[in-house]
Amino acid sequence: MKYILPLVILLVIGTSACKNKAAAISRSQMKAKTDSLVGVKMQEVTAQAMEDLDRRMSIEVKAKTDSLVAICMGTADTTAKLQ
């Protein structure tokens, strides 16, 4: 007898929870939503990549340019040095 009341309460809650169904979305709506989310994320990733490129370009290009100029001028030491 003491188990009937909790069982009835659980059944009422369980059946009422099953009645609320979310509206199904169509393929075109799903595609539009994913495209908009991917588009925003792609813009963020592209912006971050461009910032990284600008930051690294000045560092790496200078070193490469200096080494190429040194080779062309004949002042570069191309032998490996042992420490």
Per the structure, the complete domain to which residue 42 belongs is given by 29-73
Query: Does 61 reside within a domain?
Result: yes
Q: Is 10 contained in some domain? A: no
**Number of domain units in the chain:** 1
The token pair at 28 is 């075109």
pLDDT value at residue 10? 82
pLDDT of residue 32: 92
Q: Does 41 map to a domain?
A: yes
Q: What is the DSSP track for 14-49?
A: HHHHHH--PPPPPHHHHHHHHHHHHHHHHHHHHHHH
Give the pLDDT of residue 52: 94
Q: What is the pTM of this model?
A: 0.45
CA separation for the pair 58, 54 (Å, rounded): 7
Q: State the DSSP code for 74.
A: T
Residue 14 domain-assigned (yes or no): no
| Predicted pLDDT at 76 | 57
Low-confidence ranges of the chain (pLDDT < 70): 1, 17-22, 75-83
Domain membership flag for residue 6: no
Residue 47 lies in a domain: yes
Q: What is the pLDDT of residue 21?
A: 65
Q: What is the pLDDT of residue 8?
A: 82
Query: Residues 38, 28, 32, CA angle at the centre, nearest 5°?
Result: 25
Token pair listed for 20: 């609320």
42 within a domain of the structure (yes/no): yes
